[in-house]
Structure 1
Amino acid sequence: MAVNGVHLIVFANEKGGSGKSTSAVHTAIGLAKAGRRVAALDLDGRQKTLARYLENRQDTAKRHLLGLDIPAFDVVSDGSPETFETKLDSLTRDVEFLVIDTPGRDDPLARAAASKADTLVTPINDSFIDLDLIGQVDSETYKVKRPSFYAEMVWDARKARAKADGGTVDWVVLRNRLQHVEARNMRRVGDALAELSKRVGFRVIPGLGERVIYRELFPKGVTLLDLQELGELGISHIAARQELREMISGLALPEATANAA
């Protein structure tokens, strides 16, 4: 394991709009609600989406006197590698998991986090624009021509991790669904991902659907997993909540051990 015996789950994608921060915060809350000890670290000192989400959650819990699960969290505001290491050490003192959200761009801290990851999660949407991040596709045959720069970055991160402590990085591509993408293109993207996964070594798991509810939850800092407790769970949310649970299950994270109390 990477730091203080804690399993690091790093959400990283160099393109915006992939649902990275939404997936990260829902994973952190899902683990907390399952009774696991989890903390969160936001490496995007400009956007601070994960940190803002959890700050909103604190405000909602205080305002309405709710016992919401709120992981310990922090943000690296100055982009400093030294600050990153300090906060990393602090947040991994008494938890099982640390969820790290990285900037949606090529960033030194994102690369450093990837090299420490136990589970590296790359959310992508069902489109060739997002697929191009990890592999270039022929315009006529839709066959993969070559891995892209991001796949090379992950390869470098895996080598750095193996050299540092002999550990491995489980790379998971989280395939989110866009409602407006036609079925034929979805199949083509799926075929290309299957081919790429064999060439560069990642797992593909189903992610989240494109739902307005995720954007609506942000101001209150609540998640789909909280709606039943809040009395706001409608029929339309049940399928989304099941998607979320399947996503977290697909990460195949370590089970709790007897001494992880």
Structure 2
Amino acid sequence: MAGETPHFIVFANEKGGTGKSTTAVHSAVALAAAGRRVAAVDLDTRQRTLGRYLDNRAATIRRIGIDLPMPVYETFDPAKDDDLAGLLDRLAADADVVVIDTPGRDDPYARAAMLRADTLVTPINDSFVDLDLIGEVDAETYKVRRPSFYAELVWNSRTQRAKATGASVDWVVLRNRLQHVEAKNMRRVGAALVDLSRRVGFRVIPGLGERVIYRELFPKGLTLLDLAQIGEVGIAHIAARQELREMIAGFGLPAGVAEGERPRAAAVG
């Protein structure tokens, strides 16, 4: 993809606790493992989950002395330099794909990142609390009454991008699976999402489960693609790795972005 404009994947959700940063990290590493030149940007200066996760991964690479797929990454700090456009342009110059993790709140820099998105990913948990972010649901019928503020924000961002560049934005709602959700409620959430997707134009794909596993991997910066370094691997790890692979496939990225010829490990100083 040398000389071509990189594909921007922006993970955005104004609600915290949806697995957004975990999903962003695993996506960045998975694409690097597929041979892509990946740049990852953390816009959440407060939490800095993506940046800290990749810091831990870099430390593990140095400590063990092995090559692991590793994106180039930076954490944006507007207090030091508020030129987000400059940062993204610099990283994009040597990348096939740029993964951006935004904070779980309304933020001007997150809005600016959304205007760059080729693929916009909004992770939600399987609950009406999370669904309320993008659509208001009737309390008795569970039917969607109208899109919420965030859906309107995304619509406006997609419209602005189309006018400015002529490019379309693929909005993907990532439905993270919870293990202890009552089946009837899951069906109701699913039906409401299908209804809302037709009205505001997003796709729904399955996301990541097994959240305890992801929390255990964080201190070493490992992912489910690093089973050789994890140690004791169980069925839950294998199942979660398959979920990750299905999620990446569900993004429907252009040829040359989702698949590469060989894994690529970045040097860590």
Q: CA deviation at 1:163?
A: 1.5
State whether structure 2 residue 138 is matched by structure 1 residue 138: yes
Question: Equivalent residues in 2 for 1:1-261 (5 A)?
Answer: 5-78=5-78, 82-228=82-228, 230-256=230-256
- Looking at structure 1, the residues matched to 109 and 232 of structure 2 have their Cα atoms a distance apart, in angstroms, of 38
Aligned CA distance change for structure 1 residues 8 and 80 (closer, same or farther; 3 Å):
farther
1:153-196 residue CA offsets vs partner (Å, 9 max, x unmatched): 00110011012111111000000011221000000000000000
Q: CA deviation at 1:229?
A: 5.0
Residues 37 and 94, structure 1, Cα contact 8 Å, conserved in 2: yes
The letter of the residue matching 1:55 is: D
- Looking at structure 1, the residues matched to 224 and 56 of structure 2 have their Cα atoms a distance apart, in angstroms, of 15
Give the TM-score taking structure 2 as reference length.
Answer: 0.92
Q: CA deviation at 1:93?
A: 1.1
The letter of the residue matching 2:197 is: S
Q: What's the counterpart of residue 265 of structure 2? A: none
Q: CA deviation at 1:82?
A: 4.2
Q: CA deviation at 1:116?
A: 1.2
Q: CA deviation at 1:60?
A: 0.5
- Find the residue that maps to 1:228 and give its secondary structure: helix
Aligned CA distance change for structure 1 residues 111 and 4 (closer, same or farther; 3 Å):
farther
Residues 54 and 221, structure 1, Cα contact 8 Å, conserved in 2: yes
- Looking at structure 2, the residues matched to 44 and 194 of structure 1 have their Cα atoms a distance apart, in angstroms, of 30
- Looking at structure 2, the residues matched to 155 and 122 of structure 1 have their Cα atoms a distance apart, in angstroms, of 13
RMSD across aligned positions (CA): 1.8
The letter of the residue matching 2:133 is: L
- Looking at structure 1, the residues matched to 184 and 153 of structure 2 have their Cα atoms a distance apart, in angstroms, of 30
Residues 8 and 100, structure 1, Cα contact 8 Å, conserved in 2: yes
Residues 20 and 123, structure 1, Cα contact 8 Å, conserved in 2: yes
- Find the residue that maps to 1:238 and give its secondary structure: helix
Q: CA deviation at 1:114?
A: 0.9
- Find the residue that maps to 2:168 and give its secondary structure: coil
Q: CA deviation at 1:228?
A: 3.2
- Find the residue that maps to 1:39 and give its secondary structure: strand
- Find the residue that maps to 1:175 and give its secondary structure: strand
Q: What's the counterpart of residue 264 of structure 2? A: none
- Looking at structure 1, the residues matched to 145 and 193 of structure 2 have their Cα atoms a distance apart, in angstroms, of 12
- Looking at structure 2, the residues matched to 116 and 84 of structure 1 have their Cα atoms a distance apart, in angstroms, of 11
- Looking at structure 1, the residues matched to 154 and 27 of structure 2 have their Cα atoms a distance apart, in angstroms, of 21
Give the TM-score taking structure 1 as reference length.
Answer: 0.94
- Looking at structure 1, the residues matched to 101 and 83 of structure 2 have their Cα atoms a distance apart, in angstroms, of 15
The number of residue pairs the alignment matches comes to: 257
1:233-252 residue CA offsets vs partner (Å, 9 max, x unmatched): 32221111000100010000
Structure 2, gaps ≥5 residues long: 262-269
Residues 136 and 147, structure 1, Cα contact 8 Å, conserved in 2: yes
- Looking at structure 2, the residues matched to 210 and 174 of structure 1 have their Cα atoms a distance apart, in angstroms, of 15
- Find the residue that maps to 1:99 and give its secondary structure: strand
Residues 76 and 83, structure 1, Cα contact 8 Å, conserved in 2: no
Q: CA deviation at 1:59?
A: 0.3
Q: CA deviation at 1:211?
A: 2.6
1:196-228 residue CA offsets vs partner (Å, 9 max, x unmatched): 000000000000114311001111001011113
Q: CA deviation at 1:231?
A: 4.3
Q: CA deviation at 1:44?
A: 0.8
Q: CA deviation at 1:255?
A: 1.3
- Looking at structure 1, the residues matched to 99 and 105 of structure 2 have their Cα atoms a distance apart, in angstroms, of 18
Structure 1, gaps ≥5 residues long: none
* Identity among equivalent pairs (%): 67
Residues 176 and 210, structure 1, Cα contact 8 Å, conserved in 2: no
- Looking at structure 2, the residues matched to 230 and 104 of structure 1 have their Cα atoms a distance apart, in angstroms, of 29
